[in-house]
Amino acid sequence: MVLEYRSMTGETNVDLASLIRPEKFVAVTSATKLAAGFCAENNVYKTPSLALKIGHGLKTCCEILQGKAIMTQNSAIKKSCKAFLTLYDLQWGSYVTHHALRSLQEGRRNNPKLLPLTEDVVKFAKHLKGEMHAKLNGLEKESNTNRIAHEWHNLSEVLLAHIVVFNRKRPGEVSKMTMQDYENCSQGEGGIIDGALSKWERALCRVLWRVEIVGKRLRTVPVLLTTTMKRAMDLLKERRCEAGIEESNTYVFAGSGEGHRRACDAIRVHSTKCNAEHPEHLRATHLRKQIATVAQIMNLKENELDVLANFLGHDIRTHREYYRLPDSTVQLAKVSKVLLKMERGDLEGLANKGLEEVQLDPSEEYITDAESDSEGEDVQSDDSPLVTVRTEDCSAYSGKSKSPSENHPIRKVWTLKEKTTVADHLGSFLLRRTLPGKAHILKLFNAEPQTFRDRSWTNVKDFVRTRFGRRM
């Protein structure tokens, strides 16, 4: 923002402190818009998150400057900062934040929420596993002091990416794993709960290691390590000094100086090397959403979902709210059942039932209706459609179709009595402009067997659709 202000005004020596003045407020908002790529024509930001971050940072800096002014008893700067904060609270939202939030929301709405392909995830995992074995063997065999640092950092990078992908953790959490965290790693607790575990689960407890790290909002979250990962971590620890890692650096995945390696960078680098179809989707956030989506498909119980949410570092309410089946899938597969029931007025079929328990009559599947429409049924657009008539006598209406050899298509106009009878028995459906179900039509047949002796239940449904379909 300061750079944009200098470029905009030509004041090359201006600093941030000199901009925190009420008379500079409008110019600061303009510089912020330029930095975030604001388009005045449609009031949209190219990088709306940058505008929001500049605003938060600017307010923090103003408060720091005001605090220093109070400590030094500089009344002029104190008064200037107070006035600037007042302007910020009153007008920053209308100048900057409003359009930034709208741009951010539009970007999220228009951005396709694509999960990584299963095939790509498998390729990525195999690539990381193979690379980890190769780098592990390379560091174990390396004796050249000039090459040890290179091999150490290579193994550190691929191991970091592999742990994040395997555990579906936030990259920053694993990146900041300390040596103290790793020193406290342990295997599964035995004896006390062995009776509650299956043979396979007990075997996993013996081959997997568990490290507790600091997660979001200082929550303690676990990280699981396979035997090979544990072996690689031990090797990194053993050869830290030979690799030139500073003793003051407390991170397992140490970077330059006292910093740590960034897991998101490691994932991005290796995602382009695994021949994935969509490497851009192989990101930690997408992978975390994938496992949470799978959890919903699995229909986990309350306690099971709680266990998974805690492992991912989430409150179970957050897990349900943000990580679920894609909205389009839920609407098509689950919510649509409710809408179809309501459309037919079948509220009894919804009473005291969850989405999973709502069932549709197979005869009411709209896919069947769509297919029958596309095949061009013998239905006319007037009030007297022509339909296929069964020539054999029918004493009962079971709804089962006959073989083609037993049916002889004959076109017959609907009589006034047939129309009147349909209106009397199915009048509620006609008033609601909805199609009757198979069960309702069969009740009509049983009540008036002679009137509809030459009609099938689909003929009646087609008749109702033809007369009222265009107005439903």
Q: Are 65 and 20 in contact (CB under 8 A)?
A: yes
In whole angstroms, what separates CA 294 from the centre of its chain?
11
Q: What is the pLDDT of residue 22?
A: 94
C-alpha span between 424 and 417 (Å, rounded): 10
257 in the Ramachandran plot: left (φ > 0), alpha (ψ -120 to 50) or beta?
A: left
Please classify residue 88 by burial: count the beta carbons closer than 10 Å to its beta carbon, then call 0-12 exposed, 13-18 middle and 19+ buried: buried
- Phi (first) and psi of residue 386, to 5 degrees: -95, 135
Quote the DSSP letter at residue 256: S
* Predicted confidence pLDDT, tens digits, the chain (472 residues): 999 999 999 988 999 999 999 999 999 999 999 999 999 888 999 999 999 999 999 999 999 999 999 999 999 999 999 999 999 999 999 999 999 999 988 887 777 667 888 889 889 999 999 999 999 999 999 888 889 999 999 999 999 999 999 888 899 999 999 999 999 988 765 554 555 566 766 666 777 888 999 988 888 888 888 889 999 999 999 999 999 999 999 999 998 888 999 999 999 999 999 999 999 999 998 888 877 766 665 555 666 667 777 777 766 565 555 444 444 444 445 555 555 555 455 656 656 665 556 665 544 444 344 444 444 443 343 443 444 344 344 334 444 444 444 444 556 778 878 887 887 788 777 666 678 888 888 888 888 888 888 888 888 888 887 765 444 4
Tell me how far CA of residue 210 lies from CA of 178, 189, 198, 205, 206, in angstroms.
Answer: 14, 10, 19, 9, 11
DSSP run (H or E) holding 413: strand 411-413
Q: Quick check: helix, strand or coil at residue 468? A: helix
Residues 6 or more apart whose Cβ sits within 8 Å of residue 88: 25, 55, 58, 59, 62
Structure tokens at 147: 């090459």
Q: What is the dihedral of CA 247, 252, 258, 264, to 10 degrees?
A: 160
C-alpha span between 303 and 55 (Å, rounded): 42
pTM across the whole model? 0.58
Q: DSSP string covering 5-63, please? A: HHHHH--TT--HHHH-SGGGHHHHHHHHHHHTTEETTTTEESSHHHHHHHHHHHHHHHH
